[in-house]
Structures are given as structure tokens and as C-alpha cells.
Copies of this chain bind each other. A is one copy, B any other.
Amino acid sequence: MHNQFAFTAGRTGTWRISSIDAVRGAGLEPAAGLDITDLSATPLVREQGSAPAWVLLGTVSNVRYATRPELTEMRAKQEGLGRPNARRAALIPIKKSAAWWDLAQDERRAIFEETSHHTAIGMEYLPAVARKLFHSRDIGEPFDFLTWFEFAADDAAAFEHMVGRLRATREWTYVEREVDIRLER
């Protein structure tokens, strides 16, 4: 499907899974490798005898909170995925509570940015930590978002610092399920 991606975990994969931690709520089955498939280019074919441990789907969509100045700064600073030295990655699926989704747009934006500084925090770690967001809520998936991060081994400490700051925000009080998957290649 157009703009839809599959994260398939199993015995093998382009990325080697180093850990899967349940940060809040239920975790995910253990697996050794992960592949990312662009479903607009390649249908998701499951080979016989290699049932995946899990498959998470997400869609690349329009921005939901970023303002024009934020987008302009982000696009000027960020670098793409697949940089040769970015051999570490994290996949962090998140589900927010019904209370979050019942908020009005201005209330979500206020918590997201004015209170929790989500965009601003992420911006501080550009271009070291590259990031791509996939939306899953409207396609009936168990998580609302999948965020994929790529960074060099030298930037692993900076990445931990960023994740710690985000988890300490008011926005994160609305997170009811979070799994933290770390990968290498």
C-alpha cells in the first residue's frame, strides 16, 4: 500500500536486534533480526518455514504538530537514513491513552511542544540522531506510532540522553505502552 512500511522481526534481517525492552505495558516477542519493507514497492511476502516473530505496520503521513519555522529548521539540520556510519538504530513503538486522543488539537499541541518541547528536544540532537516517524493508529495497529532512529556508535550516549529527556516530559504521562528495540548492523 502507498506510503506503508512493514517492520518484520524474525530469525534474520538487515538489522541485528540487540535488545527488546518493555518500557511500559506489554513487550514484544524476542527476535534476532529485523527487515524494513516499503510496501508500495514490494509486497510483504512471508517465506514458508520462516514465520516472523512480529510484524508492525506504519504509514508515512503529513506532519501533525510542527509549525513552519520548526519544519524549516528541521529540514535544514536533518540528514537522511542510511548514512554509512549510522550503524546503530532504535525502533520505539508507542501507544498513547484514550485521554490523549480525546484532547482537542490545541491541547495536544500545547502538551507536545509548549510543555514537553518534543520537537525542540529532537532538534538538539540533529543531525547526529536521524529520525523517521510512522503512523499506525488509523490502520488498526496495536501501537499508535513507530519511530525509527539511526545514529553512529559514537552518538549512542547522546541518543540515550535524548530518550531519557523525552520520557520525563508531561507528554509521556499519556503513553500507555512503549517498547524499546535496539539494533545494529
Contact = CB atoms under 8 A, between A and B. Distances in A.
A133 interface: no
A2 B105 contact: no
A135 B64 CA distance: 14
Interface residues of A, number: 28
A107 interface: yes
Contact of A105 (B66, B137, B139, B140): B66
Interface in A136-163: 137-140
A68 interface: yes
Contact of A67 (B3, B70, B106): B106
Given A59-B138, A137-B61, A104 B67 contact: yes
A135 B140 CA distance: 13
A62 interface: yes
A125 interface: no
B64 A138 contact: no
A44 interface: no
The 6 tightest CB contacts between A and B, nearest first, are: A1-B140, A67-B106, A68-B104, A62-B101, A59-B138, A71-B104
